[in-house]
Chains A and B, each alone.
Chain A
């Protein structure tokens, strides 16, 4: 209606101010700083920039291709066939994806092959296989079997059916999965920082080195701009796919898996066991080696340099609770604005809120130390860590709650209104109870994100506010078998915490009321 609804303005203001001050303003400062540096146009700088950008692009492309190849057999098996353990297999391969990057990095170091490009590529494949399997199999299992049968009847061999019918139909899903994997590996930070040694650096790692180790903020800002351009490109490719998805989705509503027979059974078994076997090697190595000394006990002992390592667990949990609170409130309010009636405002919100997800955590952390000296100097504040985590987590909360809010028919709210509920009462009586389950899931995601967050934290953590990931990184950086063992023990602690919460989320989402 034509009136200004001040309540609505207030609801929109909190997320807008939060994102505006903690994200858009810092990024603008980075742009200002970096563009000046790029203007200087020193040839040495250009060459170095080009080399790092080139490596980032190259490793991300290679990682994406390798991940697609590695995921292909299992994707085929779980899309085409129904077999005992199929759900378990899908759940198991998702474990690496939810693990924090420092845990994955530590696991690959524990395998004994750090400081090499192969370790980086292997870790990226390990991390992202689930993205491909899940994204592609969702579509693949819903392709109308009549299409493939029709091709068979027309004389196509199995291979020709796959190449000429199945693969073209899968293209949008493969493209989506590839752009997500590309985005993740292009902005890879923790894995590359731990496994790349001094030799290999992505833009993300180099921003960190220039800013934190060498204090060359302008150069770091210039690198961040190059990074933003790359990320925007990947996001653009992804959104192009999303627009086309509507067409593809007119396929089958239910899956069409069949029981494997004969030779297919052996191939399915081989695909499943080989993929899960390969993915479990780094984790088994990590867990086994973490128990090969008194590393867990040492976590409780005071250390002259890093303090009591176990205290990082307390810090992490505290920060995660605060970040969860902030992200849930901001995220749910933002989702409410996005589903609200005002068209342009809602679109603007939707886009802006997704930006932190794409920008990379390092840019967020870097932006904090560049920009947050004004109007009050927040850079030494303890709050910066949970705020940074919340910023990274808000898109997860929005994405968890938006589908539920959007699924509430307009008539349901109108019915409440006609029965005498004011707009704010409608929100309280209808939207809030219906969205609460999804908001809980979003909150749990925010908690997990905060626990594992490393990129932004590495900029704003202080010696007395170490989180589990930054503590692992410090321990990894110290010479000696004991420090390494403690890092592994710490990584196992973080992995168990993360996996536990994710398992809870997975169960909460099954057969719940969050799907009206």
Chain B
């Protein structure tokens, strides 16, 4: 279980996260929903250990992980631009996390992960030959393959066109459900958030202002801004 406890993050001189708190239970999928610039990506990067927090605490199963470097946290993060390794093929990308963890049957695991995202047999395809939707799915497979304790997806469908998005939302949800993962998904799109997640956390200017199920929040918004934003 992930615990984010009133953390502050300042980038340069600008405070980006201000007393942000968020809990994610095991097996739960939470969507952090907010307008662009509200600090969603920064929250994921803080949890992943890619930047320092100024105050507050981040815990896993009640234990602080502040001092743990990102490569030892065993979290998965799918970047908004995917950040696929350009010098490796699809198989090399998906195998990377398994290799770092010292897995035994990497070839098999890679094949399995690619089947999850409907890209079976894509192992030797070069990255620059993939379409946008295929890249998204390779990135998802790469994130899920090493079976991280926590999966974080940053605008997982943000870069795709609308038709593709509709289809991939369902596919992504199916993949996450089948794996039973604990996940945090960041998005600025309400439909995407409600389709992918069990629970929403509404973020505004660096703070989580309300959490709950979609219909709960819609029925009882914390303030006018939340009501407006969800419309």
| A418 proximal to B (CB < 8 A) | yes
User: Which one of B96-104, B160-168, B212-220 is at the A interface?
Assistant: B96-104
Q: Give A114 to B84 CA distance when docked, in angstroms.
A: 59
Instruction: Output the least CB separation between B77 and chain A (Å).
Output: 5
Given A411-B81, A415-B83, A419-B76, 6 more pairs with CB closer than 8 A: A409-B81, A414-B70, A414-B79, A418-B48, A434-B87, A516-B87
Tell me which of B73, B74, B79, B86 has the highest count of chain A C-beta atoms within 10 A of its own C-beta.
B86
A-B contact pairs, 30 of them (CB 8 A): A409-B81, A409-B83, A411-B79, A412-B86, A414-B48, A414-B50, A414-B70, A414-B79, A414-B83, A415-B84, A416-B85, A417-B71, A418-B48, A418-B49, A418-B75, A419-B76, A419-B97, A419-B142, A420-B74, A420-B100, A421-B71, A421-B100, A422-B69, A423-B71, A425-B100, A430-B85, A430-B87, A434-B86, A513-B87, A516-B87
Indicate if the CB atoms of A412 and B52 lie closer than 8 Å. Answer: no
Chain A, residues 429-449, CB within 8 Å of chain B (1/0): the string is: 110011000000000000000
Instruction: Output the least CB separation between A67 and chain B (Å).
Output: 40
For chain B residues 91-112, which have a beta carbon within 8 Å of chain A?
96-97, 100-101
Q: Give A219 to B76 CA distance when docked, in angstroms.
A: 65
| A2 proximal to B (CB < 8 A) | yes
**Out of B52, B85, B87, which one reaches A415, CB within 8 Å?**
B85
Q: Give A516 to B48 CA distance when docked, in angstroms.
A: 26
Q: Which residue from chain B places its CB closest to the CB of A411 in the assembled complex?
A: B83
Interface of A is mostly: helix
Indicate if the CB atoms of A419 and B52 lie closer than 8 Å. Answer: no
| A259 proximal to B (CB < 8 A) | no
Instruction: Output the least CB separation between A387 and chain B (Å).
Output: 33
For chain A residues 303-344, which have a beta carbon within 8 Å of chain B?
none
| A1 proximal to B (CB < 8 A) | yes
* A422-B71 contact given A412-B83, A433-B87, CB 8 Å threshold: yes
Q: Which residue from chain B places its CB closest to the CB of A408 in the assembled complex?
A: B86
Residues in B with CB closer than 8 Å to A411 are 79, 81, 83
**Out of B52, B76, B79, B87, which one reaches A2, CB within 8 Å?**
B52
Q: How large is the interface on B (under 10, 10 to 19, 20 to 34, 35 or more residues)?
A: 20 to 34
| B39 proximal to A (CB < 8 A) | no
Instruction: Output the least CB separation between B161 and chain A (Å).
Output: 22
For chain A residues 502-516, which have a beta carbon within 8 Å of chain B?
513, 516
| B146 proximal to A (CB < 8 A) | yes
For chain A residues 267-310, which have a beta carbon within 8 Å of chain B?
none
Instruction: Output the least CB separation between A340 and chain B (Å).
Output: 16
**Out of B76, B86, B87, B101, which one reaches A418, CB within 8 Å?**
B76
Indicate if the CB atoms of B70 and A417 lie closer than 8 Å. Answer: yes
Indicate if the CB atoms of B86 and A420 lie closer than 8 Å. Answer: no
Q: Which residue from chain A places its CB closest to the CB of B44 in the assembled complex?
A: A418
A binding-site residues for B, Cβ under 8 Å: 1-2, 409, 411-412, 414-423, 425-426, 429-430, 433-434, 513, 516
Residues in A with CB closer than 8 Å to B45 are 414
Indicate if the CB atoms of B71 and A420 lie closer than 8 Å. Answer: yes
Q: Give A412 to B87 CA distance when docked, in angstroms.
A: 11
Q: Give A30 to B173 CA distance when docked, in angstroms.
A: 70
Residues in A with CB closer than 8 Å to B71 are 417-423, 425-426
Tell me which of A411, A425, A434 has the highest count of chain B C-beta atoms within 10 A of its own C-beta.
A411
Nearest 8 CB-CB pairings of A with B: A420-B100, A419-B97, A411-B83, A415-B83, A418-B77, A417-B70, A417-B71, A433-B87
Residues in A with CB closer than 8 Å to B142 are 419
Indicate if the CB atoms of B86 and A415 lie closer than 8 Å. Answer: no
Residues in A with CB closer than 8 Å to B52 are 1-2
Instruction: Output the least CB separation between A258 and chain B (Å).
Output: 31
Tell me which of A409, A411, A415, A426 has the highest count of chain B C-beta atoms within 10 A of its own C-beta.
A415
**Out of A415, A421, A422, which one reaches B79, CB within 8 Å?**
A415
Residues in A with CB closer than 8 Å to B79 are 411, 414-415
Indicate if the CB atoms of A429 and B50 lie closer than 8 Å. Answer: no
Q: Give A93 to B100 CA distance when docked, in angstroms.
A: 50
Tell me which of B70, B72, B73, B142 has the highest count of chain A C-beta atoms within 10 A of its own C-beta.
B70
Instruction: Output the least CB separation between B57 and chain A (Å).
Output: 17
Indicate if the CB atoms of B76 and A412 lie closer than 8 Å. Answer: no
Residues in B with CB closer than 8 Å to A433 are 87
**Out of B49, B86, B146, which one reaches A419, CB within 8 Å?**
B146
Q: Give A1 to B96 CA distance when docked, in angstroms.
A: 24
Q: Give A412 to B84 CA distance when docked, in angstroms.
A: 7
* A516-B86 contact given A416-B96, A420-B146, CB 8 Å threshold: yes
Instruction: Output the least CB separation between A477 and chain B (Å).
Output: 51
Indicate if the CB atoms of A420 and B85 lie closer than 8 Å. Answer: no
Indicate if the CB atoms of B50 and A417 lie closer than 8 Å. Answer: yes
Q: Which residue from chain B places its CB closest to the CB of A437 in the assembled complex?
A: B87
Residues in B with CB closer than 8 Å to A1 are 52, 69
Residues in B with CB closer than 8 Å to A420 are 71-72, 74, 97, 100-101, 146
For chain B residues 21-52, which have a beta carbon within 8 Å of chain A?
45, 48-50, 52
Q: Which residue from chain B places its CB closest to the CB of A432 in the assembled complex?
A: B87
* A418-B50 contact given A411-B79, A425-B100, A429-B96, CB 8 Å threshold: yes
Q: Give A421 to B83 CA distance when docked, in angstroms.
A: 15
Q: Give A409 to B79 CA distance when docked, in angstroms.
A: 12
Q: Which residue from chain B places its CB closest to the CB of A422 in the assembled complex?
A: B71
Q: Give A513 to B126 CA distance when docked, in angstroms.
A: 12
Q: Give A415 to B101 CA distance when docked, in angstroms.
A: 14
Q: Give A455 to B83 CA distance when docked, in angstroms.
A: 47
Q: Give A48 to B86 CA distance when docked, in angstroms.
A: 60
Residues in B with CB closer than 8 Å to A421 are 71, 96, 100
Q: Give A389 to B15 CA distance when docked, in angstroms.
A: 50
Chain B, residues 131-166, CB within 8 Å of chain A (1/0): the string is: 000000000001000100000000000000000000
Q: Give A421 to B142 CA distance when docked, in angstroms.
A: 14
Instruction: Output the least CB separation between A342 and chain B (Å).
Output: 15
Residues in A with CB closer than 8 Å to B76 are 418-419
Instruction: Output the least CB separation between B55 and chain A (Å).
Output: 15
